[in-house]
Amino acid sequence: MPHKHHFNQMKNPESAFALQEKLRHQVIREDDFGPLETVAGVDVGFEDKDQIACAVVAVLRLSDLKVQESVAIRLPVTFPYVPGLLAFREVPIVMEALASLKTRPGLLICDGNGTIHPRRCGFACHLGIVSGLPSIGVAKTPFIGEFQPLADDRGAWQPITDGGEVIGAALRTQTKVKPIFVSIGHRISLQSAIDLVLQCAPAYRLPETTRQADQLSKGNAQPVIL
């Protein structure tokens, strides 16, 4: 079982780059999943002056986008935030969260990029390969690449390119609202990723999966004022 141990022992950026170069070739860029019953939102938040990471996986029914199950896990941070190496900071704890789920999600919608990455192996790709699950990357900013202006209606999108290669899409999920950045994570095509993200974002800029996971990763103990 070569996988799971690469992370915690990752000490220097050189070995992290090497692993990404290896994993990038394992990314499956075509649809490789059956009928989807559930879709899970993945998000990691930080607390305590960046000492503690909190990973949340929220499993929603695709039919009504209602939360069917969710888990939140808290662990000490083991890797710093380095642009381009986000996966090494967040994948391990997310794997722990996935392990404690009762439901095996049909697909993961990640908070972060997939192929929109210098080495085409962002968080969503990394998590998809390590977990074996189909995954999509959804980010609020593009990180790298260029794209043409998009129409202002919901569903409008433009390819994001880098060195002539299409690496993702800038997608407008709500009319006249700033676009989000969708990319392949693993076992899905870019077109299917776009369609699915749009389906999961019927009312807000971010998909419901991300919103639910995000909400659960924050002050779960919201004091009710009377």
Partner DNA sequence: GCGACAG
Partner DNA sequence: ATCTTGTCGC
Report in angstroms how near the CB of residue 35 gets to DNA at its nearest.
28
Write out the DSSP string of 115-163. SSSTTS--HHHHHHHHH---EEEEESS-SS-B-----SSTT-EEEEEET
45, 105, 128, 134: which one binds DNA (CB under 7 A): 45
Least distance between DNA and beta carbon 197 (Å)? 13
Q: Does 48 appear as a known binding residue?
A: no
Q: CA-to-CA distance for 99 and 106, rounded, in angstroms?
A: 14
Q: State which residue, 1 or 224, has the beta carbon closest to DNA.
A: 224
Q: Which residues on adjacent β-strands are paired with residue 202?
A: none
Helix (H, G, I), strand (E, B) or coil at 50: coil
Q: Quote the least distance from Cβ 34 to DNA, whole Å.
A: 27
**Judged by CB, which is closer to DNA: 124, or 190?**
124
43 annotated as a binding-site residue:
yes
Provide, rounded to whole angstroms, the least separation between the CB of residue 88 and DNA: 8
Distance, in Å, from the CA atom of 214 to the CA atom of 55, rounded to the nearest integer, reads 9
Residue ranges in 139-178 that form contacts with DNA under rule CB under 7 A: 139-143
Q: How far apart are CA 116 and CA 146, in angstroms?
A: 10
List binders of DNA among 64-103 (CB under 7 A). Answer: 81, 83-87
Place of tokens 């210098």: 118
Which residues contribute to the site for DNA (CB under 7 A)?
43-47, 50, 81, 83-87, 111-113, 117, 122-124, 137, 139-143, 217-218
